A and B are shown apart, each in its own frame.
Chain A
Amino acid sequence: MRVRPILVKGSEAIALGALAAGCRCYFGYPITPQNEIPELMARELPKRGGVFLQAESELAAVNMLLGAASTGVRAMTSSSSPGISLMAETFSYLAALELPAVIVNVSRGGPGLGGIEASQGDYFQATRGAGHGDYHFLVLAPSSIQEAYELTAKAFELAEKYRQPAMILTDALLGQMKEPLRPKKIRVREYPKDWALTGARGRPGRTLRSLFLGPGELRARNELLQRKYRAMRREVRAEVLYAEEADLFVVAFGSMARIVKEAVDVAREKGYPVAFVRPVTLFPFPETTFRKLSRAGVRFLVVELNCGQMVEDVKLSVCGRSEVESLALPPSDLPAPEDIYRRIKRCLVRKR
């Protein structure tokens, strides 16, 4: 049966994706520009037998998430940049305790209070781990409202598969715009939860902890986590268009990728050999995709709505085999496709 499309905001699509995945608990604290998520959850979760609770702070919200996730239920929180910073300590604990949980960052401009407009300035924070210690989140970056819905549902599955927090990184642009969404049914696979704290009925008590003081214990713990992060490379996703005939690859993620894609299409219509690359998983980063595209003579132009962050991952991936340029657009400076097109042209001209 065809699912009728509905017109929703990106933030609402994320909330609907979570509901489609069977999210049972939502904890959050209001912050612009993501309030549609808690507001939708407040309306819908109790109707479905779930739990919505507005916490007294982002610190409390993310620790409520920790508690709920530890009992093996599907749980989520969402926030925007300054709120995500407040959650950072507990992010480290979520990773250390290996708790499947979904965290949404509808990011805004920074640093500091910054502004509420779109920005991709939280790329490092999301991909490097905002908290302390050697850990990572699995990070997914949707670039359409349909994808926001589907990737959020997918995030619940991957979080359970790897016993690992997963983050949806998007921004005010995608979060606040409206687009048709087909809210199709999504099957989210279940994984065994033989670690969950559900009461020690007929078994010894279980422990979820991150403190390891015995000789070699902490090292073993870290090695286990790193093995898991390497295994997560199986989940790498990227969108690549027109790669065969191109010698300039324009790279962007999330909402910026929409504008960049249009600019690439304009350039191609005018006969320029330009391709488009969009990492969908920001961690693990699609290194192999970039490695395969890179060779002497081709060039990468990385367009970001920040002061230049993902460009570092692209450089690491191509490892000096190709030139990598950064087109960094600090927040407040939302470009039109023509602006990007002009820059693409400059890039091509300089190359000749």
Chain B
Amino acid sequence: MPRAKEVKAFTFPRVLTERTFHYCPGCHHGIAHRLLAEVIEELGVRERAYGVASIGCACFLYHYFDVDICEAPHGRACAAATGAKRARPELVVFTYQGDGDFAAIGLTESLHAAARGERITAIMINNTVYGMTGGQLSPTTLPGQRTTTTPEGRDPRIYGYPLKVAEILAAFPGVAFCARVAVNRPKRVLEAREALRKAFLAQIEDRGFGYVEFLSACPVNWKLDPVRAAEKVDELAETFPLGVFRDLS
């Protein structure tokens, strides 16, 4: 039987450095990083990309991306990104933030950047806990979910309910693209990639703020093995529905 012709399905993205990720086994940062790198490469914007690294596990963004990256104080990534974009509109500016960074300490900066329709792309990795700090309560922690600061589980009477950022941003006229994605199944990985692409196009085509929220596994702080953690993302999706909430393209 003749051998089937080999087709190169993908290569290592030029935008990623060859450094090995430091992330824990089963963490979804690695997949999100790769998708981000692929999209930057596909859009041909590596040479005008400007990333804002934030706080927590993803603060080492600059070790893995061969683009210009600046660090911002906790929660202020969208404000720093605003400054960079306003100073040099030709740059393709993105932030990469956790749920604590984007939706707790930085919620004001995040919402106002979106409200202004800032031509930036914001990526929020939502794993419902403060990962690097050791698994404390986050604004997105599910009701009943145990964290180190809600040892009996999040009681909504005390801590309220999870903050649904994508749903909030979807109502903003300045937001040109807003989606919530997951990467725990191959099909979803492809959908996540497409969402990222559109969120970047929103700024490249000068239409407005782009936002992609990744539901992401945190096996260590969830105290689950990587497979169970990936499955648990489905449970998260019951509270945080996946989908495109706004697309003005």
Contacts and interface: CB of A to CB of B under 8 A. Distances in A.
Interface stretch (B65-73, B143-151, B162-170, B223-231): B65-73
Contacts of A202: 47
Nearest to B113: A60
A70 B59 contact: no
Given A25-B83, A199-B90, A200-B46, A211 B69 contact: no
A67 interface: yes
Contacts of A209: 53, 62, 69-71
Interface string A196-219: 011111101111111100000000
A53 B68 contact: no
Contact of A60 (B53, B90, B91, B112): B112
A125 B99 CA distance: 32
Nearest to B69: A207
Nearest to B47: A201
Interface in B71-109: 71-73, 76, 79-88, 90-91, 108-109
A70 B65 CA distance: 17
Contacts of B91: 71, 198-199
Instruction: Please classify how large the interface on chain B is, using the bins under 10, 10 to 19, 20 to 34, 35 or more.
Output: 20 to 34
Contact of B80 (A51, A53, A57, A66): A66
Contacts of B112: 55-56, 60
Given A67-B87, A199-B49, A200-B47, A60 B66 contact: no
Contact of B79 (A64, A75, A199, A208): A64
Interface in B105-131: 108-109, 112
A89 interface: yes
A145 to B, nearest CB: 29
Nearest to B66: A205
A289 interface: no
B109 A205 contact: no
B192 interface: no
A67 B80 contact: yes
Nearest to B62: A207
Contacts of A24: 87
Contact of B71 (A25, A64, A93, A198): A93
B34 interface: no
B214 interface: no
A63 B76 contact: yes
Interface string B186-220: 00000000000000000000000000000000000
Interface residues of A, number: 40
A332 to B, nearest CB: 33
A97 to B, nearest CB: 7
Contacts of B108: 56-57, 59-60
B80 A70 contact: yes
Given A55-B79, A63-B109, A93-B71, A71 B47 contact: no
A209 B82 CA distance: 18
Interface in A182-236: 197-202, 204-211
Given A67-B84, A207-B62, A199 B70 contact: no
A90 B73 contact: yes
B50 interface: yes
Contacts of B50: 71, 197, 199
Contacts of A41: none
B48 interface: yes
A56 B86 contact: no
A209 B59 CA distance: 10
B68 A67 contact: no
A156 interface: no
B109 A199 contact: no
B52 interface: yes
Interface in A225-257: none
Given A205-B68, A208-B71, A25 B86 contact: yes
A65 interface: yes
A93 B52 CA distance: 14
Interface of A: 24-25, 27, 51, 53, 55-57, 59-61, 63-71, 73, 75, 89-90, 93, 97, 197-202, 204-211
Given A75-B87, A200-B46, 13 more contacts: A27-B83, A60-B112, A61-B79, A63-B73, A64-B86, A66-B73, A68-B86, A202-B47, A207-B68, A208-B69, A208-B71, A211-B59, A211-B71
Interface of B: 46-50, 52-53, 59, 62, 65-73, 76, 79-88, 90-91, 108-109, 112
Shortest 5 CB-CB distances between A and B: which pairs?
Answer: A67-B83, A64-B83, A63-B79, A67-B80, A68-B87
